[in-house]
Structure 1
Amino acid sequence: MRRTPVRRALLRMSAARRLPLTGGGIPDTGLRFALLMTLVTAASVSMLDTTLAPRPDDTPGDALGCLLAAGLDPDGSNLANLLAGVRSPEAIHDCLSGAPAVAYGKGMAATALLLAVAALVYWWLPRLRERRHATLPLEAVDPDGMLARELAELRAIAGTGDRVRFRVAPGRTTAGAVVHGRAGRYTVSLHAGLLVLYGVDRDRFRAVVLHELAHLRHRDVDFAYSSTALWRTFVALALLPYLYHEGDLLLRGLLGRTRSPFWPGVASITTYSLLSGLLLVLLVHLTRADLLRRRELYADAQAIAWGASPSAWDRPDRTAGRWRRATALLRTHPDWAERRRALAEPGRLAPVSALPMLLLGIAGSFLVHQLTVFPGLSETAATPWIAACFVTPVLCHLLRRSREAGVRAGLWLGLGLLAGEFVVGGNSGNEWLVGQPAYLLTFLLAGWVPTVWCAQSARLEACLPGRWARRAVVLLNGLVTLALLWGGLRWWQQWGKYQAVGVYDRSGALRTVFRETFPGPWRDYAFELSAATEAFPGLHSFNNSVPLGLAVMASALVPLFVHLRAGRTGLRVRRTLLAGGAGGLLCWLGLAAGSYALHAERPGTLRGRFGAFQYVQIWWLVVTVTGACLVTGAVVAGVSRRYWLLRALLAAQLAEVIGFAGVYLLSSADGCLGPLNVIGSSCHWLPANGRTLTALVAAQSLTSAVLCAAAAALAGAAVARVVRRFPAAARPAAEVPSARPRPALLRQTAGLALALPALLLAVVTYTYAPGPRASSAVGKPPTTSPAMGRLLELLDAPRTARTATIRQWQALAWLNKGGLRHVAGLSRGYLALTSAIGKAAAQEPTAQGTIEIDESEFARLCGTLGSRVRDARRYFPFPDPALDRRWSKTLDRIARDSEDCLSGTTGGKDGAERERAFARFLTNSPETVHALLFTMQDMEKQSEAPS
Structure 2
Amino acid sequence: MTLAEERTRRTGPIPTGMVTLFLLLTATVCATVGLLGMLAWLTVGDHVGDMVAAYERCAPPTTATDESLFEANDAAHRSVNCLASITGQQAAWALYAVLLLAAVALCFYLAYPRLLIRRHRLVLLREQGDLAAYLAELRDLVGLRRAPVYLLGSRSGTMDALTFGAFRRRYVVLDAGLLRAYTLDRARFRAVVLHELAHARGQDVHLTYLTKSLWWAFVLVAWVPVLVQVAVLRSWWALITVAGLAVVTALVLLTRNAILREREVHADGVAARHDGPDGMLGDLVSAEPRPASRWRLLLAHHPDPAWRRRVIDDPALLLRPRWWEMPAAGLAVGVIAPNLWFVIVSSLVSVPGLNSLVVGWLIGPALAVPVAVASWRTAVLTPGRRAVRVPLTHAVCLAAGFIVGQQVALRVLIQISTRTDLEWPHPASVLLLVAGLAVVALWASTVSTAFDHPPRWVLPVVVAGVAGALWPWLASWWVWTDVDRVGWWVFLDQASSYDLTIPDVPGWVSALAHWTQVRYVPLHMATWIPFIVPLLALLWLVPILITRSVFDTRRALRAGVIGAAAFTVAAVVVVVAARLWLSGQARGSDGFRVGLHFTLVAVAVVAQVGVAVGLRGPHRAVLTPLAVVTTGLLSTVVLLFGVDTLGRAVDVWRRPTRSLFAWPDLDLVVETLNQVVLTGAVLSAFGVLVAAGRKSAQVAPRGGVVFPALVAVGAVAVGVLTVPSAYRTWVTSTATGVQPVTGAECLLGTWVEVDRTSVMTLSTEVGPMRFQSSGSVQAFDSDGTVVLSLTPIRSDHNGHIALMTYSGAVTADYHVDGAQIRYDNIRPGTTWSVSVDDHPAVLTGPVTTFTPDAFTCTNNTMTQTGTGYTITLTRTAHPN
TM superposition score normalised by structure 2: 0.69
1:711 and 2:686 correspond: yes
Equivalences for residues 523-602 of structure 1 within 5 A: 535-560=519-544, 566-567=548-549, 569=550, 571-588=551-568, 590-591=570-571, 595=575
- Secondary structure, aligned partner of 2:83: helix
1:647 and 2:609 correspond: no
1:67 and 2:55 correspond: yes
Q: Is the 8 A contact 1:70 1:84 kept in 2?
A: no
Distance 2:279 2:86 in 1: 65
Q: Is the 8 A contact 1:47 1:239 kept in 2?
A: no
Pairing partner for 1:36 from 21, 25, 37? 25
1:823 and 2:773 correspond: no
1:224 and 2:205 correspond: no
Distance 2:47 2:715 in 1: 58
Q: Is the 8 A contact 1:572 1:737 kept in 2?
A: yes
Amino acid of the structure 2 residue aligned with 1:628: A
Q: Deviations over 1:15-47 (max 9, x none)?
A: xx999989xx95763354245324423332222
1:289 and 2:254 correspond: no
The residue number in structure 2 matching 1:916 is none
Tell me the CA shift for residue 145 of structure 1.
7.4
Distance 2:515 2:873 in 1: 35
Pairing partner for 1:204 from 153, 169, 188? 188
Q: 1:208 to 1:71 in 2, by over 3 A?
A: same
Distance 1:394 1:555 in 2: 17
1:48 and 2:33 correspond: no
Amino acid of the structure 2 residue aligned with 1:542: A
The residue number in structure 2 matching 1:385 is 361
Q: Is the 8 A contact 2:539 2:625 kept in 1?
A: yes
Q: 1:598 to 1:246 in 2, by over 3 A?
A: farther
Distance 2:860 2:607 in 1: 55
Equivalences for residues 816-855 of structure 1 within 5 A: 817-819=775-777, 823-824=787-788, 827=810, 829-830=812-813, 834-835=824-825
* Greater mean alpha carbon deviation, residues 412-421 or residues 521-530: 521-530
Q: Deviations over 1:747-779 (max 9, x none)?
A: 45655675666666666777899xxxxxxxxxx
- Secondary structure, aligned partner of 1:535: strand
Distance 1:169 1:19 in 2: 43
Tell me the CA shift for residue 226 of structure 1.
1.3
- Secondary structure, aligned partner of 1:665: helix
* Greater mean alpha carbon deviation, residues 230-239 or residues 359-368: 359-368
Matched residues, percent identical?
A: 22
Distance 2:224 2:557 in 1: 59
The residue number in structure 2 matching 1:343 is 312
Equivalences for residues 498-537 of structure 1 within 5 A: 498=483, 500=485, 504=488, 514-516=495-497, 519-520=500-501, 535-537=519-521
Distance 2:71 2:96 in 1: 32
- Secondary structure, aligned partner of 1:187: strand
Amino acid of the structure 2 residue aligned with 1:306: H
Amino acid of the structure 1 residue aligned with 2:688: A
Tell me the CA shift for residue 228 of structure 1.
0.5
Pairing partner for 1:96 from 73, 78, 83? 83
Equivalences for residues 908-927 of structure 1 within 5 A: none
Tell me the CA shift for residue 520 of structure 1.
4.4
The residue number in structure 1 matching 2:801 is none
Distance 2:368 2:614 in 1: 29
- Secondary structure, aligned partner of 1:701: helix
Tell me the CA shift for residue 603 of structure 1.
6.3
Q: Is the 8 A contact 1:163 1:184 kept in 2?
A: no
Q: 1:416 to 1:149 in 2, by over 3 A?
A: same
Distance 2:716 2:860 in 1: 49
The residue number in structure 1 matching 2:248 is 280
Q: 1:593 to 1:294 in 2, by over 3 A?
A: farther
Amino acid of the structure 1 residue aligned with 2:43: P
Amino acid of the structure 2 residue aligned with 1:115: A
The residue number in structure 1 matching 2:613 is 634
Distance 2:271 2:572 in 1: 68
Distance 2:565 2:633 in 1: 11
- Secondary structure, aligned partner of 1:786: coil
- Structure number with larger C-alpha Rg: 1
The residue number in structure 1 matching 2:596 is 617
Distance 1:606 1:411 in 2: 49
Distance 2:480 2:9 in 1: 50
Q: Is the 8 A contact 1:581 1:654 kept in 2?
A: yes
The residue number in structure 1 matching 2:472 is 487
Distance 2:100 2:669 in 1: 57
Q: 1:346 to 1:67 in 2, by over 3 A?
A: same
Give the number of the structure whose residues are more often strand, by fraction: 2
TM superposition score normalised by structure 1: 0.65
Pairing partner for 2:303 from 308, 324, 334? 334
Q: Is the 8 A contact 1:440 1:500 kept in 2?
A: no
Pairing partner for 1:656 from 612, 632, 635? 632
Pairing partner for 1:447 from 426, 437, 446? 437
Q: 1:155 to 1:318 in 2, by over 3 A?
A: closer
1:735 and 2:698 correspond: yes
Pairing partner for 2:115 from 121, 128, 132? 128
The residue number in structure 1 matching 2:805 is none
Aligned residue pairs, count: 737
Equivalences for residues 129-148 of structure 1 within 5 A: 129-135=116-122
Distance 1:869 1:118 in 2: 42
Tell me the CA shift for residue 654 of structure 1.
2.9
- Secondary structure, aligned partner of 1:546: coil
Amino acid of the structure 1 residue aligned with 2:647: D
Distance 2:519 2:824 in 1: 55
Distance 1:244 1:518 in 2: 64
Unaligned 5+ segments in structure 2 are 1-7, 381-386, 727-732, 740-772, 780-785, 790-808, 815-821, 829-849, 864-871
Amino acid of the structure 2 residue aligned with 1:106: W
- Secondary structure, aligned partner of 2:497: helix
Tell me the CA shift for residue 554 of structure 1.
3.8
Distance 2:738 2:825 in 1: 43
Tell me the CA shift for residue 671 of structure 1.
5.2
The residue number in structure 2 matching 1:927 is none
Q: Deviations over 1:409-428 (max 9, x none)?
A: 44444444444445548895
Amino acid of the structure 2 residue aligned with 1:116: A
1:686 and 2:621 correspond: no
Tell me the CA shift for residue 180 of structure 1.
2.6
Q: 1:70 to 1:35 in 2, by over 3 A?
A: same
Q: 1:463 to 1:755 in 2, by over 3 A?
A: farther
Give the number of the structure whose residues are more often helix, by fraction: 1
Tell me the CA shift for residue 626 of structure 1.
1.8
* Greater mean alpha carbon deviation, residues 431-440 or residues 226-235: 431-440
Distance 2:257 2:734 in 1: 54
Pairing partner for 1:666 from 639, 643, 661? 643
Distance 2:324 2:249 in 1: 15
Distance 1:484 1:448 in 2: 14
Q: 1:462 to 1:768 in 2, by over 3 A?
A: farther
Q: 1:480 to 1:550 in 2, by over 3 A?
A: farther
Distance 2:423 2:223 in 1: 26
The residue number in structure 1 matching 2:672 is 697
Tell me the C-alpha RMSD between the 2 structures.
5.3
The residue number in structure 2 matching 1:237 is 221
Distance 2:82 2:635 in 1: 49
Amino acid of the structure 2 residue aligned with 1:210: L
Q: 1:55 to 1:394 in 2, by over 3 A?
A: same
The residue number in structure 2 matching 1:433 is 423
